[in-house]
A and B are shown apart, each in its own frame.
Chain A
Amino acid sequence: MISFPSPGDLIKSFELGISLKVLVQSVLLGGLGYLTARITSTLVSKALAKHITAHHCMVFRYIIFWIILIGFGFGIMMGPLQLDINRVGASFLVLLVGIGISAQSLVPNFISGIALMIEKPFAIGDNIVINEWLGEVLSIDLLSTKIRTRDNTLVRVPNEAVLKTELRNLSHFPIRRLDISMHFNFKEDLDHVKTILFDVAQHNPQCLDFPIPEAIFLGFGEYGAHIQLSIWCKQNIFFDFKDEFQFALHKALNANGIKIATLYLPNI
């Protein structure tokens, strides 16, 4: 039967067993272990980088690093320190239980991190909207996901929150639709308006030729005829395209003497 050592016993055993020579050996082995873990995990992650996602690569690197480091730790305890395996094992279990109790909030995040790795709702580099944050995913760690917002700030979202919250991935599909809603005075010639809208789309090289641009008469609104222009572009240029297209649209409508009652875009 395994007897759990008391903290006093542990301290006593360390005090009695460690000489200067053993201490130096242990430190050197520890250093070697750290270097081995660092180099091996980096090399493995680089070798796998072409075959798996950046997220999986990062997780593999962490796992390999800690397995090697813990392995060396056990080696030091069993080798130079010559500690009893039962006592070491029991102490390790006590340590794990202690960490588990003191860091209860970490466990759901850790499990959520694993779930994110399996589900893969987004990847590093994707633009996502989570809660009120819109930004590029910088890293998906085991405990949290880090996002760089468009105004260059870092947002750390716990993985549990990522998993529980509704999330919008703006980079998942290669192309995106931009909807622009406008109200035009009822007196305007809507056929002429449609011609101008399509002309702007036709002359913008970043506006995709297919799916075909559409102008939809949504209804008779408070301010006038409610028309929505739906056009498509590559998702990676969406924000630049949106700016450029709206400027061009505004210019073309002004040049043709057509007044927009309101012009707004939906939240991205």
Chain B
Amino acid sequence: MSFSTLFKSILHQPHISSKLLNALPFIPEEPCEAWWGKFDLAEGETRSWTVGTSHLTVQRFQYEWRSPSQRILMTTQAQVLLTPHLGTSPLAVRLIKPLHIPVDQPLFVYVIAPIWISLYTTNPTLLIDEKPSLPLKETWFGDNTREGELCYSGPLEYGSQLSELIYQNYQIIIPILLNNGSREEGILKRLYLPFPSLSIFVDGHNRLWTEQLNMEWQGHHYPEIHINPGPPRSVPDIQKLRPASANIHPKDTWLTACKTLLRKAF
């Protein structure tokens, strides 16, 4: 049995060997503050939330919701829903320090990225406002300037140990398993995260997580990104907070398109 076959079989086991991948994620002593949820507003009341560097404000009238970006005319209900969101486009970030991926040596990396904040009316659910928690820029991710995808780009941290990273409550943790099945060392210069295809989970300490991503090279220019369905297995006391915004067909869960660039692709 080749190592890659063995590795894939390990991946499909209900419990991944912690020796092979990593120890359990760092559990902070103090839980983070949960800023999401349903909030009551009386008629005429104005309410604001600050998450990261973004501010969301809404004012309720009898027949109108008013925010700085728009006005929604409807018979208003008392509650609004504030929720984390992963945006409508993937996140593609240039790594300041490239990540070296050795051959046939799986690595586990935690990536911490900013999240979006959405504010909805209830009954019916209508979007009042939506913002990224930190300023994001747009970027192009593709082989060339003809074919590719428009993505967001923003501040991002990564490390092999979650305890090394500083987590803020406006961020989300993306566990990534990197494996280089090719014969050459891979160097990751840009990281692609398929945000609209990922769900949001929350652990017992109010930290936000996505599904685990498996990135694998097989000697091609681009790795394949696989989304491991369900919450990260090694995180205790975790539950789903919001499903993926993009509809993923079972066949598409194996995102075989180009997702991360290796140095040789440039």
The reply to whether A174 and B150 form a contact with Cβ atoms under 8 Å apart is yes
The reply to whether A210 and B145 form a contact with Cβ atoms under 8 Å apart is no
**Cβ-defined partner of A209 (8 Å) among B138, B145, B146, B148:** B138
Q: Which of B121-177 contact A (CB under 8 A)?
A: 135-141, 145-146, 148, 150, 153
Q: With an 8 A cutoff between CB atoms, is A205 at the interface?
A: yes
Q: With an 8 A cutoff between CB atoms, is B111 at the interface?
A: no
The reply to whether A208 and B145 form a contact with Cβ atoms under 8 Å apart is no
Known: A210-B92, A210-B94, A234-B150. A175 touches B145 (CB 8 A): yes
- Where chain B touches its partner, the secondary structure class is strand
The reply to whether B138 and A208 form a contact with Cβ atoms under 8 Å apart is yes
Chain B minimum-CB-distance residue to A205 = B137
Q: With an 8 A cutoff between CB atoms, is B60 at the interface?
A: no
The reply to whether B138 and A211 form a contact with Cβ atoms under 8 Å apart is no
Q: With an 8 A cutoff between CB atoms, is B259 at the interface?
A: no
**Cβ-defined partner of A210 (8 Å) among B135, B136, B146, B153:** B153
The reply to whether B137 and A211 form a contact with Cβ atoms under 8 Å apart is no
The reply to whether B141 and A210 form a contact with Cβ atoms under 8 Å apart is yes
Complex-state Cα separation, A118 to B138, whole angstroms:
34
Q: With an 8 A cutoff between CB atoms, is A25 at the interface?
A: no
Chain A minimum-CB-distance residue to B141 = A210
Complex-state Cα separation, A175 to B136, whole angstroms:
18
Q: With an 8 A cutoff between CB atoms, is A264 at the interface?
A: no
The reply to whether B138 and A205 form a contact with Cβ atoms under 8 Å apart is yes
Interface digits, B170-205 against A, CB 8 Å rule (1 contact, 0 not)?
Answer: 000000000000000000001000000000000000
**Cβ-defined partner of B139 (8 Å) among A173, A174, A177, A209:** A209
The reply to whether A210 and B150 form a contact with Cβ atoms under 8 Å apart is no
List chain B residues, Cβ under 8 A from A206. Answer: 138
List chain B residues, Cβ under 8 A from A175. Answer: 140, 145, 150
B93: shortest Cβ distance to chain A, in Å?
Answer: 8
Complex-state Cα separation, A208 to B148, whole angstroms:
13
Complex-state Cα separation, A174 to B151, whole angstroms:
12
List chain B residues, Cβ under 8 A from A245. Answer: none
16 A–B contacts, CB within 8 A, in A order: A175-B150, A205-B136, A205-B137, A207-B137, A208-B138, A208-B139, A209-B137, A209-B138, A209-B153, A210-B140, A210-B141, A210-B190, A211-B140, A211-B145, A232-B145, A234-B150
- Shortest beta-carbon contacts, A-B, top 8: A209-B139, A209-B153, A210-B139, A209-B137, A210-B140, A208-B140, A173-B146, A208-B139
Q: Which residues of B contact A (CB under 8 A)?
A: 92, 94, 135-141, 145-146, 148, 150, 153, 190
Q: Which residues of A contact B (CB under 8 A)?
A: 173-175, 177, 205-211, 232, 234
Q: A205-B138, A208-B138, A209-B153 are in contact. List 6 more A-B contacts (CB 8 A).
A: A173-B146, A174-B148, A206-B138, A208-B137, A210-B190, A234-B150
